[in-house]
């Protein structure tokens, strides 16, 4: 197939591109390189790379010609970045997604994956043991609000124009090549430098960490699914941030301490006490769900030669 990946130079996108090339697809990437290019050098030779912005309709329209399938992953993210640049965050989501869907209509492309987020659940009630796609969502930040808007927008396009769409609600994805906007690479970087691991709040807040290879496997297997679906991609395991920090110190053999800081005001809307997802719907659709434990995922990262953090603090 001819596959277009927006945001393909980013963390999740670059792993997806690598897998698509391995599976012998023709891959086109659109990325404005806001975060540099995480696609491994040997894979870069096998794809068509368009350096451009998804907010530019011409860029997206031109790249869409002859495409069979789109993964729309371009986004501005990272709590501090989004808090500092909420307008750009929303514009990239809303304008970028409109350009993608408009270009798909023009070129008769009928299948879309959209990267949504578990951030949409925010303070939603955890019913029974985990968040399922049916619970009442509670988007509060510019980022989560724009992601939720796009879920409804794309559901409407499916209803009116029949574009099969999977909106993927990713739960804290981590793995090789992720940069230190996110908590696991930040803790790894601090631990390896024997610096204190900085936790916001008391460290009792929980997250559900999903290993990148499991995420990519789900993205590939869902290709056969028809219709419109919102699907959690979660590991179904809850870790406190304190436990995460302790595990990273132990696995890296670091002499770091953990220090607890008051969260800066701009992070308040992102402070959620508990987050754990159910991947039952995913399993029902494709007979697969993430299973890599956090210990195993961290071990894999630490043994990868290419492991390095290369985050940027501004956009």
Ligand X SMILES: NC(=O)c1ccc[n+]([C@@H]2O[C@H](COP(=O)([O-])OP(=O)(O)OC[C@H]3O[C@@H](n4cnc5c(N)ncnc54)[C@H](O)[C@@H]3O)[C@@H](O)[C@H]2O)c1
Residues forming the site for ligand X (CB under 6 A): 7, 9-13, 30-35, 53-55, 73-77, 92, 96, 115, 117, 170, 172-173
* Nearer to ligand X (CB atom), residue 55 or residue 254: 55
* Nearer to ligand X (CB atom), residue 181 or residue 256: 181
CA dihedral 180, 267, 293, 176 (to 10 degrees): -20
The minimum distance between CB 252 and ligand X, in angstroms, equals 21
- Long-range contacts, 188-196 (Cβ 8 Å, 24+): 188/248, 188/252, 188/298, 188/301, 188/302, 188/307, 188/309, 189/309, 190/256, 191/248, 191/249, 191/252, 191/254, 191/256, 192/252, 192/254, 194/254, 194/255, 194/256, 195/256, 196/256, 196/257, 196/258, 196/259
Is residue 235 within 8 A of residue 211, CB to CB? The reply is: yes
* Nearer to ligand X (CB atom), residue 53 or residue 196: 53
Residue nearest to ligand X (CB): 10
The minimum distance between CB 56 and ligand X, in angstroms, equals 8
* Nearer to ligand X (CB atom), residue 170 or residue 239: 170
* Nearer to ligand X (CB atom), residue 63 or residue 191: 63
The minimum distance between CB 307 and ligand X, in angstroms, equals 15
Distance CA 73, CA 114 (A): 6
Distance CA 123, CA 139 (A): 8
* Nearer to ligand X (CB atom), residue 13 or residue 297: 13
Distance CA 121, CA 125 (A): 8
The minimum distance between CB 172 and ligand X, in angstroms, equals 5
- Strand 206-207 to strand 239-240: parallel, antiparallel, or no bridges (unpaired)? antiparallel
The minimum distance between CB 288 and ligand X, in angstroms, equals 19
Distance CA 168, CA 115 (A): 5
Secondary structure letter of residue 160 according to DSSP: H
* Nearer to ligand X (CB atom), residue 10 or residue 290: 10
The minimum distance between CB 103 and ligand X, in angstroms, equals 14
The minimum distance between CB 9 and ligand X, in angstroms, equals 4
Q: What are phi and psi of 165, to 5 degrees?
A: -135, 135
């Amino acid at each position: 197939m001819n596959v277009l990946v927006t945001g393909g130079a980013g963390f999740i996108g670059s792993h997806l591109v690598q897998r698509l090339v391995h599976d012998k697809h023709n891959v086109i990437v659109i990325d404005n390189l806001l975060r540099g290019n995480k696609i491994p050098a040997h894979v870069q030779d096998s794809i068509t790379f368009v350096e451009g912005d998804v907010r530019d309709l011409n860029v997206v329209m031109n790249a869409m010609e002859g495409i069979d399938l789109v993964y729309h992953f371009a986004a501005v993210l990272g709590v501090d970045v989004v808090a500092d640049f909420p307008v750009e965050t929303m514009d990239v989501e809303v304008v970028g997604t409109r350009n993608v869907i408009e270009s798909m209509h023009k070129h008769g492309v009928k299948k879309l994956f959209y990267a949504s987020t578990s951030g949409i659940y925010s303070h939603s009630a955890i019913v029974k043991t985990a968040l399922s796609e049916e619970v009442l969502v509670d988007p509060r930040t510019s980022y989560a609000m724009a992601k939720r808007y796009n879920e409804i927008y794309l559901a409407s396009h499916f209803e009116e124009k029949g574009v099969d769409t999977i909106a993927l609600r990713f739960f804290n994805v981590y793995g090789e090549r992720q940069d230190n906007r996110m908590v696991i690479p930040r803790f790894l970087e601090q631990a390896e430098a024997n610096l204190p691991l900085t936790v916001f709040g008391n460290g009792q807040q929980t997250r559900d960490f999903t290993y990148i290879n499991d995420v990519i496997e789900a993205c590939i297997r869902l290709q056969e699914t028809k219709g419109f679906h919102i699907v959690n991609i979660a590991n179904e395991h809850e870790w406190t941030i304190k436990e995460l920090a302790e595990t990273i110190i132990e696995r890296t053999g670091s002499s770091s301490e953990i220090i607890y800081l008051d969260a800066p005001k701009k992070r308040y809307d992102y402070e959620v006490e508990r987050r754990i997802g159910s991947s039952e719907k995913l399993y029902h659709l494709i007979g697969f769900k993430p299973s890599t434990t956090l210990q195993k995922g961290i071990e894999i990262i630490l043994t990868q030669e290419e492991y390095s953090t290369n985050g940027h603090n501004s956009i």
